[in-house]
């Protein structure tokens, strides 16, 4: 069974969606929860499900030291895939090279719209509403050095309603994230995600 590590920076609802789906379908072993700071909600979720947390504490190490520690730990444990599930720290190119074509991310828009540096969290939905788009959604993609620029694995569209607030839109998109992300992790662990350049095919 494939081992994965999930990276999270907040409450961990995307992380929880993977835990819940995996408890039903048993498609991977969640070896680690990597947290961008102490005391976030995702850590409590990990501890509840006996998943080892690796936590970045900026008072004791640099980001470079943290990523080096995480890479060494994951390699030693045989982790094959990394899932960024609401991860707000930029992933350095060296780390990405160490796990080439093995890191996926979920982003709360239909890439290439409303993505890249500065587009994260509620800001994405504020910009979508401000621009007046009729559809937004979520994207799961491979991680490359270009922020949000990796090959797209899967997308789900969500209608933007006339009276939507950013929070309204965020919650509806989050529901789709919670369906799509576990599905992508399962397909990846089953060897059904085939990447050829920028084109990703889902195998039957």
Active-site residues, by number, are 107
What distance in Å separates the CA atoms of residue 55 and residue 40, rounded to the nearest whole number?
10
Beta strand 103-107 pairing with 193-196: unpaired
List, in order, residues 6 or more apart from 121 with CB less than 8 Å away.
88, 108
- φ, ψ of residue 87 in degrees (nearest 5): -95, 125
* Token pair for 94: 């060296």
Integer Cα distance of 126 and 5 in angstroms? 30
């Amino acid at each position: 069974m494939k081992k994965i590590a999930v990276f999270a920076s907040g409450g961990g609802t995307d992380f929880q969606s993977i835990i819940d789906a995996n408890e039903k379908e048993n498609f991977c072993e969640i070896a680690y929860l990597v947290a961008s700071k102490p005391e976030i909600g995702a850590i409590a979720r990990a501890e509840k499900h006996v998943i080892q947390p690796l936590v970045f504490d900026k008072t004791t190490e640099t980001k470079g030291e943290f990523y080096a520690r995480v890479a060494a730990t994951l390699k030693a444990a045989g982790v094959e895939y990394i899932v960024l599930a609401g991860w707000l720290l930029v992933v350095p190119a060296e780390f990405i090279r160490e796990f080439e074509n093995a890191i996926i991310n979920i982003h709360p828009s239909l890439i290439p719209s409303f993505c890249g540096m500065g587009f994260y969290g509620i800001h994405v939905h504020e910009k979508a509403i401000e621009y007046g788009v009729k559809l937004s959604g979520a994207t799961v993609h491979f991680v490359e050095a270009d922020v949000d620029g990796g090959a797209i694995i899967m997308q789900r569209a969500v209608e933007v309603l006339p009276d939507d607030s950013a929070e309204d839109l965020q919650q509806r998109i989050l529901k789709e994230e919670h369906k799509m992300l576990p599905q992508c992790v399962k397909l990846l662990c089953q060897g059904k995600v085939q990447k050829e350049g920028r084109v990703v095919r889902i195998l039957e």
